[in-house]
Amino acid sequence: MPTFACFTSPGRLTAAQKGEIARVCTDVYHEEFGLARYLIQVIFCEIAEGDRYVAGRPAQPDLVWIRCDLREGRSAAQKSELLHRIRQGVALSSNVSEEAVWLYLCDLPPTNLMVWGHIMPALVEGMPKDDNWFESLSEPLQARLRPLG
């Protein structure tokens, strides 16, 4: 947790740009919130021409929209910093203006989140304390996740 879903026009991003955006989202989230990287995923979706509208008109092809589902419990200041850093990194990576990047953060209660087959614990003072959660995982899964940091 979190999951970043990145929506663009078909062919808008190269494989290298997708990799860079995934790195930006993962690094920024990890740096801002201390969350283990093996809990962060980024998914890319292409929306066909004619399937995306803004103001009732076909959307411009340079728009990049990212929805991030995350565990609730972070302050407005923490989320603002995350939004600004990701917007900047995504704009650079995708070669669009910062105004073409739309980001939505969607808070979810931890009781509604199951990751790697286990329900996520609540945050403590806005930060993860997931050691007990990690220890509840099977030893083979722990061994699989440790190298992912």
Does residue 130 register a pLDDT over 90? Answer: no
Mean pLDDT of 115-131: 89
pLDDT at 125: 82
Does residue 131 register a pLDDT over 90? Answer: no
SS (H, E, C) 114-127: EECCEECCCCECCE
- Longest distance between any two alpha carbons in the chain, whole Å: 52
Instruction: Measure the CA–CA gap between 112 and 119, rounded to whole angstroms.
Output: 7
Q: Does domain 3-148 have CATH number 3.30.1360.120?
A: no
Instruction: Measure the CA–CA gap between 111 and 138, rounded to whole angstroms.
Output: 20
| Beta strand 64-71 pairing with 101-108 | parallel
| pLDDT band at 145; cut points 50, 70, 90 | very high
pLDDT at 7: 97
pLDDT at 10: 95
Does residue 48 register a pLDDT over 90? Answer: yes
pLDDT at 43: 98
Mean pLDDT of 22-27: 98
Backbone angles phi, psi at 148, to 5 degrees: -80, -15
Confidence (pTM)? 0.93
Does residue 8 register a pLDDT over 90? Answer: yes
| pLDDT band at 30; cut points 50, 70, 90 | very high
Q: Single out the residue of 58, 44, 54, 51 nearest to residue 12, CA to CA.
A: 44
Domain ranges of the chain: 3-148
